[in-house]
Amino acid sequence: MRKIPTDIQNLDDKIRRLQQKETSRRHGKVENEYSYAAKTGFRVGTELVSGVIVGGALGWMLDYFCHTEPWLLILFLLFGGIAGFLNVYRFVKKEEQQE
């Protein structure tokens, strides 16, 4: 069995202590409905936009290297959009289960 280096173990202990400190500070505080709505809206928007951006970048790079302009760009833009919607769907389902 491999031994974990002391600096990594110390960092892990520090992270664990800070997480416990944050949890104890947040205990009992109710989240404002406006901050929850803003956080959720930002997450949904980010998921949608990032999927399209990543898909477009991958499609553009593949088109550049395969010389198939613009077909792979269009295809991966669609895949990115679908992936973004799928991520939003998963997020919404998880939020429904928590309620």
Domain ranges of the chain: 32-98
Per-residue pLDDT at 99 exceeds 80: no
Please measure the distance between the N-terminal and C-terminal CA atoms of the chain and give it in whole angstroms: 43
Residue 65 region, left (φ>0) first, then alpha (ψ -120 to 50), else beta? alpha
Across the range 37-43, mean pLDDT stands at: 93
Across the range 26-37, mean pLDDT stands at: 79
Query: Tens digits of per-residue pLDDT, 52-77?
Result: 999 999 999 999 999 999 999 999 99
Residues ≥6 apart with Cβ < 8 Å to 70: 63
1 falls in which pLDDT band (50, 70, 90)? low
Q: Which of 76, 73, 81 is nearest to 52 (CA)?
A: 81
- Low-confidence winner among 48-52, 63-67, 88-92, 94-98 (lowest mean pLDDT): 94-98
